[in-house]
Amino acid sequence: MTSTVPALGTRTAEGSALQAVLLDMDGTLVDTEGFWWDVEVEVFAGLGHVLDDSWRHVVVGGPMSRSAGFLIEATGADITLAELSVLLNEGFEDRIDRALPLMPGAARLLGELSAYGIPTALVSASHRRIIDRVLTSLGAHHFALTVAGDEVRRTKPDPEPYLFAAAGLGVDPARCAVIEDTATGVAAAEAAGCQVVAVPSVTPIAAAARRTIVTSLEEVDLAFLHGLMTEMG
């Protein structure tokens, strides 16, 4: 890493500097999108229902209330949303306690952001109880702020989580880089006015204005993020 990166971080007066990085969790930093689907399949099997694999693309990346509600309606399962949420969270916790693989490049990127003092927030649709478990592996010290799906009135694809994170960090959403893996998260970040880096996990994400597509976090470093802001400005 060159000595020019810290200098770039001081250019807030010019209006082109990166002020903060806001990161999604599942499928972006930790390889857990498949965990959620596996748990959903198992829970509904226990209720006597088989999930259609095509539904996976419907539920990925959204809040539990939306995904669980969809699956209840689609299957006609005799269970309430509150009861199902408990079962899904418990099943997911069991999986991450056994193994929690990080996405390629995640540890390196978080370490780099920390080393250069870039304000960083974790913004997830997952519940607080899940985020706190994952943070033991990701490293809570990497984040100045974490936002859980059950701590906001409206979660992704609504912009509220990202607006809340930017306000909490005291930064301009337009000067934030958001890293997301799903169309739902991308929609939330773009509605908040952020610059988006999409790293598609389960489903493809199309290129668009204010949106950059990469295949892996291995392609993302601090110089890359500063470059996005410079191009935007």
What is the spatial distance between Cα 149 and Cα 127, in angstroms, rounded to a whole number?
A: 5
> Edge-to-edge, what's the strand order for the sheet holding 20-23?
145-147, 120-123, 20-23, 176-180, 195-198, 211-213
Residue 212's Cα: distance from chain center in Å? 16
Query: pTM for this one?
Result: 0.81
- 56-75 pLDDT, tens digit per residue, is 877 776 677 888 899 999 99
- 172-216 pLDDT, tens digit per residue, is 999 999 999 999 999 999 999 999 999 998 889 998 887 999 999
Tokens of 99: 């193994």
- 84-115 pLDDT, tens digit per residue, is 999 998 998 898 888 899 999 999 999 999 99
Are the C-beta atoms of 26 and 124 separated by less than 8 Å?
yes
Residue 109's Cα: distance from chain center in Å? 14
